[in-house]
Amino acid sequence: MVQKAERVAGPHVSGRSRPGKPVGNVTRGTTSPNRMRRLDRWLTGPQAWRLRTANDPLVVDLGYGATPATAVELFQRLAAVRPDVRVCGIEIEPERVRVAKALERPGLAFMVGGFELPVPGNPVLVRAFNVLRQYEEADVGAIWRLVQGRLSAGGLFIDGTCDEIGRRVAWIALDAQGPLSLSISMRFGSFVLPSEIAERLPKALIHRNVPGERIHALMQAMDRAWLESAPLASFGNRQRWQGMCKALLEAGWPVQDGPARWRLGELTVGWEAVAPPAQEA
């Protein structure tokens, strides 16, 4: 059940001055181990170059939740790509940080904060999962800009949402200039039609899944391509998903990456394919 969206509190976003206070609101904090594995696999795959080439391998897990499990997992996974990575888990709720402090180690730290990212330096990766979904859509643009302004050169901000156990995942990737792409990743067997991901779209898109909007057109195109690829199901759902992605690419959708990613149940399209008119890059 989705919590009622809140307006963001704090300077630079709402216009209300709260000197020294984190920017944002306390959220539910629901989390579970391995929930972010699909996104982390993307960060350590086609996006790994960002971490490898960073002068300062600083990464922020923003709003990691009631327990720090996913922040610890992020640290472990990224360390395989960049052994000197530094991951900082940031939470606006002090008690959550107090509990997480027991898990600190070289390269992994926790601190109180919000969208202002109170870390020294500029992170190359910022992950905010199931965070902006609990705010008003009207606040998303300002939150994006606040975080984007803290990124390092070549840095990436991930605004994503997933179900409770990470079987249906969607995220928007942004650099300092604006949104780059929308990615969808689904576990085979967890859906009948790929458009079922619509209930897990990030806040900037979830209310846009209506006729006349680009994201709705993508959902419909995915379903058509999935159904038309049904003959490939005899070879397995991986082949069927790849057939869907190939059909979308051939139909002119700006599908990124390729079969190596598609076979994982993943699809990434350029932001221009789904951007609401007011949020076009």
* Span 140-181, pLDDT tens digits: 999 999 999 999 999 999 999 999 999 999 999 999 999 999
Torsion sign (Cα): 210, 214, 216, 220: positive
pLDDT at 21: 85
* Span 76-88, pLDDT tens digits: 999 999 999 999 9
- pLDDT interval class at 13 (50, 70, 90): low
pTM: 0.91
pLDDT at 279: 58
Say whether pLDDT at 95 is over 60. yes
pLDDT at 19: 54
Structural contact between residues 91 and 97, judged by C-beta atoms closer than 8 angstroms: yes
Architecture of domain 37-275: 3-Layer(aba) Sandwich (3.40)
* Span 244-278, pLDDT tens digits: 999 999 999 999 999 999 999 999 999 999 999 87
Q: Phi-psi bin for 11: left (phi > 0), alpha (psi -120 to 50), beta?
A: beta
Helices 237-250, 214-228: axis angle to 10 degrees equals 130
Collapsing DSSP to helix, strand or coil, 59 comes out as strand
- Closest residue by Cα to residue 131 from 188, 171, 88, 178: 171
Percent of the chain residues topping a pLDDT of 70? 91
- Closest residue by Cα to residue 27 from 185, 139, 120: 139
Q: Residue 205: in which H helix or E strand, if any?
A: helix 203-206
Say whether pLDDT at 5 is over 50. no
- Work out the mean pLDDT of the chain and round it to a whole number: 92
Helix/strand/coil percentages in the chain, nearest 5:
35, 20, 45
Q: Phi-psi bin for 146: left (phi > 0), alpha (psi -120 to 50), beta?
A: alpha
* φ, ψ at 232 (rounded to 5°): -75, -10
Residue found by looking up tokens 């994503």 in the block: 160
Name the residue ranges covered by the structural domains of the chain: 37-275
- pLDDT interval class at 3 (50, 70, 90): very low
